[in-house]
Amino acid sequence: MSSENMRLISADDHVDVTHEDVKRHLASQYHGDYDDAVGRFGALMASTMSSEANQQWSDQAGVEMDPEAGRIGGSGYPSFGRDGYRDAKARLQDLDQDGVQASVLYSEVSAFRYLYMLERGASDATRAFNTMLLEFASEDPSRLIVSGQIPIHDVDAAVQEVEWFAKAGGKSLQLPLFPPELGLPDYWDRRYDALWAKIEEVDLPVCCHIGLNTQLEALAKRDPTPQKGVLVLGTALSTSEALGMFILGGVFERFPALRLVFVEPGIGWVPWWLEMADDLVLRQNYAFPAIKQLPSHYFHKNVHLTFIDEPFAYENAKRSLGVENVMWSSDYPHPVSSWPTSQSTFDRMFADIPTEDAELIGFRNAERVWRLDSA
């Protein structure tokens, strides 16, 4: 196949959010509480950024550390500094230039990491945050698919926010990947059942984007590399923890209509996980009383993965994951983004596969997961 002029939907792109943007939609009486929560979260994150291991490595290696080496990505890539990161009209222009029809967008700010810290107005701040995201998408909601962020400390409030977001036209929900890093039970816990039931009712996908994992704080401090490369690789692989909690913990057994998307986890490790999880049942006599089928059954029925430019993506999908379970993404405007050459990048990856499979990976799976209109 050739992807030239083929419909493409990016299942993972990003939009920049400023706290001032959020506060435009938040009653002024809560601005101080909002700023305090942001400050507390910033201090928490700063505590993980130890450079002690970096310095120890450079001392032993006799290498002078480049002060710019810790800057993730830098500016040497095409999508750096694009106005489309913050401006919806410019984003649509960049989609056109890239030959991409639609974009599923995740905020660069993980609001659920700090909104619960507000002394007053946490629910109001959540609504302000998601209102701001919908405002960005309003330039063209059929092409800009923003993911509303749902804090999970207060499940009743989360249920209300899901219902509001769906009624407001939202098509995608983003939840934290690791509840324990927020001091909360894992997702198999029955405290979340009302939330899963509401999400099934409104028929929106649950998206969990990898990124920061504060449970790996000790690793972050031990990592000797300037950009925390050991941590970055470990964070992607730690997605297996969340995958196991959803599948082996019985969430999909109890809520079979849930659609779960792991965003940017890397997919090369997942075939091994599925094979080993099934093997635990079939050959090693492990008991998973929360599920009635093999673990791989729930993956193929309920779970989807996004990837960017990953070797053997199609081979892994065809052999183990399922072509219906993987979705291409551009990751605009991050350093690995395929912008502005997504059409040729996609063609390079999938030139030799059947057209129907390329269409599934390029746009049809995304249309189904996010209930988007077909061309």
Please name the residues in contact with 156: beta carbons below 8 A apart, sequence gap of 6 or more: 194
- 9-49+78-369 architecture in CATH? Alpha-Beta Barrel (3.20)
- Checking phi first, is residue 73 left (phi over 0); if not, alpha (psi -120 to 50) or beta? left
Per-residue pLDDT of the chain (375 residues; tens, 9 = 90+): 554 578 999 999 999 999 999 999 999 999 999 999 999 988 887 766 555 655 554 555 555 655 554 444 556 799 999 999 999 999 999 999 999 999 999 999 899 899 999 999 999 999 999 999 999 999 999 999 999 999 999 999 999 999 999 999 999 999 999 999 899 999 999 999 999 999 999 999 999 998 767 777 788 888 898 888 888 887 888 899 999 999 999 999 999 999 999 999 989 999 999 999 999 999 999 999 999 999 999 999 999 999 999 989 999 999 999 999 999 999 999 999 999 999 999 999 999 999 999 999 999 999 999 999 876
d(CA 150, CA 157): 9
Of the candidates 176, 190, 76, 169, the one whose C-alpha atom is nearest the C-alpha of residue 116 is: 176
The domain segmentation of the chain, as residue ranges, is: 9-49+78-369
d(CA 208, CA 265): 9
pTM of the model: 0.92
Give the E-state strand segments of 2-67 in sequence order. 9-15
The count of other CB atoms within 10 Å of the CB of residue 193 is 13
Joined tokens for residue 30 = 């809560």
d(CA 240, CA 270): 8
Side chain identity at residue 246, one-letter code: F
**Cβ–Cβ < 8 Å for 359, 323:** no
What are the angstrom distances between the C-alpha of 330 and each of 8, 18, 100, 339, 343?
10, 22, 9, 7, 10
